[in-house]
Structure 1
Amino acid sequence: MNIIDKLNWRYATKKFNPEKTLTSKQVNTLKQAFNLTATSYGLQPTKLLIIQNKALKTALVPHSYNQTQVQDASHLLVICIKEHVLKEDVNAFFNNIKTIRNTPEEILAPYRENLTSMLQNMTLEQQQQWSKNQAYIALGNLMTVCAVEGIDACPMEGFNPTAYNQALNLKEKGLKSVLLLPVGHRADDDMFANFEKVRMTLNETIIEL
């Protein structure tokens, strides 16, 4: 299939086959895809939790408005943001550039100072919203990679982030949960798998100038 065929194949999976699990190669592909996701300035203010433990997934169902995809999927991906993006994070980022690219500090210094100043001038709410924007980019990237790799997925905003944060001890890690992406293989009897996609025509969604 070409990429458009694969995007047509994908859908928000409502029922997973709990007996089918992703291979370690597939999981590693998703890890790499998340890490390669574009982020503003390349700062990567997001983290990915990968949960395979069945008991833990089951315990999270009540905090997910009882949506069983969380439990039945092979793996539950939880996209998180850092509670605070600190000067130390900026310095670690630019130090990494120096190590990997051997870029002189005199070239990096203005960019380091500009990014530090921008973050310091944000309120905590603004900073977290900026980080959430990056989380949505990661979600979109993961969904496309899932389609290409033949992995079923269900993007979810419908969960209780506060309860997730507590259940997963995210505050201790300096993180907040933002989005969920259960991944695995669709159940044979998921009726939604055979529904026709409902989309506007290209003329309705595309403007060419």
Structure 2
Amino acid sequence: MFLDKLNWRYATKAMDPTKPVDEAKVAQIVEAIRMAPTSSGLQPFHLFVIRNAELKSKLKEAANAKDLLTDSSHLLVFAAFDSYTEARIDAVVTRHAAERPGTEAALDTYYGNLKAAYLPRPDAVNFDHAARQTYLALGFALAAAAELEVDSTPMEGFDNAKFDDILGLKDKGLKSVVALALGTRRVEGDWLLPLKKVRKPAYDLVTDLN
């Protein structure tokens, strides 16, 4: 049951580098990210799937020396658009029009209004909007990893500027937002593994308005 898998998952604190995640499972997690919903279908981010040990080591130095980066099987880095541009929005229109013949007029109207709203805004506002979309994709990645029983740990708190420099993101019009380590939990040394999952009870989290 899906909820049982969510109870199984936790933010893994130690991973076993000798037990890599099956590539077929990683592909499914990546596909879940691709299928995640985003505002107006813009998908304003790019995903980097990092297996290279040397590159993970460089990123580790920019992430408070977290061993998870180097012990992980795969490190996923989510990078959002630094802003919206006419070309980026037009690319969405072109893709939709190709997949949905006969919708060009409606698409031009909808995305024309979107450009009128987004393009005059400051880049910082547009980046914040794009960054929020990456968290929708991160949520789908976490859920897919749990369903597949792949251990995962989402990570913020790294030096974004250094990540951007290492991955050459500025030239791509991207900024790093969040990372997700995938791997296999190492039973020895993970202090969190034996502890009960703690969440707010439903009565303290949910208000039903009927």
* TM tier relative to shorter chain: over 0.9
Instruction: Please give the residue correspondences for 1:176-187 in structure 2 after superposition, counting only pairs within 5 Å.
Output: 176-187=175-186
1:112 & 1:169 partners in 2: Cα distance?
30
Structure 1 unmatched runs, 5+ = none
Q: Which moved more, 1:188-197 or 1:101-110?
A: 101-110
Q: Name the counterpart of 1:193.
A: 193
2:199 & 2:22 partners in 1: Cα distance?
32
2:138 & 2:174 partners in 1: Cα distance?
17
Counterpart contact for 2:5–2:146, Cα < 8 Å: yes
Q: Name the counterpart of 2:138.
A: 139
Q: Name the counterpart of 1:121.
A: 120
Q: Name the counterpart of 2:89.
A: 90
Instruction: Please give the residue correspondences for 1:47-58 in structure 2 after superposition, counting only pairs within 5 Å.
Output: 47-58=46-57
1:118 & 1:43 partners in 2: Cα distance?
14
1:31 & 1:159 partners in 2: Cα distance?
22
1:118 & 1:185 partners in 2: Cα distance?
44
1:185 & 1:34 partners in 2: Cα distance?
20
Code of the aligned partner of 2:205: T
> What is the CA distance between 1:90 and its match in structure 2?
1.1
Counterpart contact for 1:34–1:142, Cα < 8 Å: yes
Q: Name the counterpart of 2:98.
A: 99
Counterpart contact for 1:97–1:103, Cα < 8 Å: no
Code of the aligned partner of 1:200: K
Counterpart contact for 1:81–1:175, Cα < 8 Å: yes
Code of the aligned partner of 1:99: A
Give deviations 1:103-144, integer Å, cap 9, x for gaps: 332222210211111111311111000001101111111111
Instruction: Tell whether 2:77 aligns with 1:78.
Output: yes
Structure 2 unmatched runs, 5+ = none
Q: Name the counterpart of 1:208.
A: 208
CA RMSD of aligned residues (A): 1.0
The alignment partner of 1:178 has SS state of strand
Code of the aligned partner of 2:87: E
1:18 & 1:91 partners in 2: Cα distance?
42
The total of aligned residue pairs comes to 208
> What is the CA distance between 1:82 and its match in structure 2?
1.4
Counterpart contact for 2:48–2:76, Cα < 8 Å: yes
> What is the CA distance between 1:89 and its match in structure 2?
1.1
1:131 & 1:105 partners in 2: Cα distance?
24
2:58 & 2:119 partners in 1: Cα distance?
38
Give deviations 1:184-204, integer Å, cap 9, x for gaps: 110121231111011121111
Instruction: Tell whether 2:124 aligns with 1:158.
Output: no
Code of the aligned partner of 2:158: F
Give deviations 1:31-88, integer Å, cap 9, x for gaps: 2111101000000101100100111111211210111101100000000011122101
2:200 & 2:41 partners in 1: Cα distance?
33
1:130 & 1:36 partners in 2: Cα distance?
19
1:204 & 1:81 partners in 2: Cα distance?
33
1:155 & 1:26 partners in 2: Cα distance?
17
Q: Percent identity?
A: 33
Q: Name the counterpart of 1:3.
A: 2
1:172 & 1:108 partners in 2: Cα distance?
29
Counterpart contact for 2:80–2:130, Cα < 8 Å: yes
Counterpart contact for 1:13–1:186, Cα < 8 Å: yes
2:154 & 2:25 partners in 1: Cα distance?
18
1:56 & 1:99 partners in 2: Cα distance?
37
